[in-house]
């Protein structure tokens, strides 16, 4: 059955991607996070790896954005770089398949990835870093564009969501996902106001290691100020 975009409109998508090698990096933990997120009101889930997509699919029929992350020696592209990744995600039950839509050296052209996603009858989501990525992705047939990689193609990782990019992408298409560094309900609200049709929250919900570190860092900053 084709994905109903209306069911995702103004929806919260929870990214259940545990820290690699961390305490939560097990299928049962990912499924637990996913079901808890749905209980809390998530409209869809973003899941990494065909293995975890299959595990979550067995537990729910709610929409899943699937992706595969790889660290390649010959390309900086990490998100669903190979045709085989598209095939595996589709077979595992992903409704939407996300891919790196940046204009960098890559093993497979973006147009080829989109064509393979469509051949499986799945929705193609372009994870973008700049507006030009979104423009190219839409021209090639992508269904959804996201701000997922905004700031992540440079030497310093960002700490704030790029809502300017979200607003610019909304002028291209109504199907815009705000993703990346959305850590508070207020930032999620701002993303909607910027024009996002969907908002992804990940680390703030499903990576307790990160959230704990944020709190610990805040306490350390206060202690340092008191001692100064």
pLDDT at 5 over 80: no
Average pLDDT of the segment spanning 126-145 = 98
The tokens of 222 are what?
């206060």
Inter-residue contact 113 to 83 (CB < 8 Å): yes
Mean of all residue pLDDT scores within the chain: 96
Q: What is the pLDDT of residues 143-163, one digit of tens each?
A: 999 999 999 998 888 889 999
Specify the higher pLDDT residue, 159 or 139: 139
pLDDT > 90? residue 128: yes
CA-wise closest residue to 177 among 118, 107, 124, 108: 124
Mean pLDDT of 166-177: 97
- What confidence tens digit (pLDDT) does each residue in 13-59 have? 999 999 999 999 999 999 999 999 999 999 999 999 999 999 999 99
pLDDT of residue 205 exceeding 60, the answer is: yes
Q: What pLDDT, on the 0 to 100 scale, is given for residue 1?
A: 54
Compute CA 147 distance to the chain's CA centroid, rounded to the nearest angstrom: 9
For residues 118 and 101, what is the distance between their CA atoms, to the nearest angstrom?
Answer: 16
Average pLDDT of span 185-195: 97
Contact status, residue 200 vs residue 178, Cβ threshold 8 Å: yes
Largest CA distance in the chain: 62
In our burial notation (b when 16+ CB lie closer than 10 A, e otherwise), range 197-213 reads bbbbbbbbbbbbeeeee
How much of the chain is in helix, strand and coil states, percent to nearest 5?
A: 45, 15, 40
Nearest to 142 by CA among 180, 169, 106: 169
Which residues are CB-neighbours of 201 under 8 A, at least 6 positions away? Answer: 12, 13, 14, 15, 182, 183, 188
Query: CA-to-CA distance for 30 and 36, rounded, in angstroms?
Result: 10
How confident is the model at residue 12, as a pLDDT? Answer: 98
Angstrom distance (rounded) from CA 121 to CA 85: 15
Structural domains in the chain, sorted by start? 5-227 (3.20.20.70)
Res 6 pLDDT > 80: no
Q: Residue 182: exposed, middle, or buried by beta-carbon count in 10 A (0-12, 13-18, 19+)?
A: buried
- Could you tell me which of 150, 143, 169, 128 has the C-alpha nearest to residue 63? 143
Taking the whole predicted model, whether its pTM rises above 0.85 is answered as: yes
Arithmetic mean of pLDDT, 117-125: 97
pLDDT in tens, 62-97: 999 999 999 999 999 999 999 999 999 999 999 999
């Amino acid at each position: 059955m084709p994905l109903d975009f209306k069911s995702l409109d103004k929806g919260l998508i929870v990214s259940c991607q545990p820290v690699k090698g961390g305490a939560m990096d097990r299928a049962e933990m990912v499924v637990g996070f996913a079901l808890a997120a749905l209980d809390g009101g998530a409209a869809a889930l973003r899941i990494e790896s065909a293995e975890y997509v299959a595990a979550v699919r067995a537990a729910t029929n709610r929409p899943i954005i699937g992706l595969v992350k790889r660290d390649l020696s010959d390309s900086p592209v990490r998100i669903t770089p190979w045709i085989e990744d598209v095939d595996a995600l589709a077979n595992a039950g992903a409704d939407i398949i996300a891919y790196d839509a940046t204009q960098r050296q890559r093993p497979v052209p973006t147009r080829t990835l989109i064509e393979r996603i469509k051949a499986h009858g799945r929705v193609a989501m372009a994870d973008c870093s700049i507006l030009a990525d979104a423009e190219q992705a839409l021209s090639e047939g992508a269904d959804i564009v996201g701000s997922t990689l905004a700031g992540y193609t440079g030497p310093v990782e960002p700490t704030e969501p790029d809502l300017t990019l979200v607003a610019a992408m909304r002028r291209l298409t109504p199907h815009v996902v705000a993703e990346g560094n959305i850590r508070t309900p207020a930032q999620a609200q701002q993303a909607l106001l910027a024009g996002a049709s969907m908002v992804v929250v990940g680390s703030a919900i499903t990576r307790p290691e990160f959230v704990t570190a944020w709190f610990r860092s805040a306490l350390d900053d206060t202690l340092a100020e008191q001692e100064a």
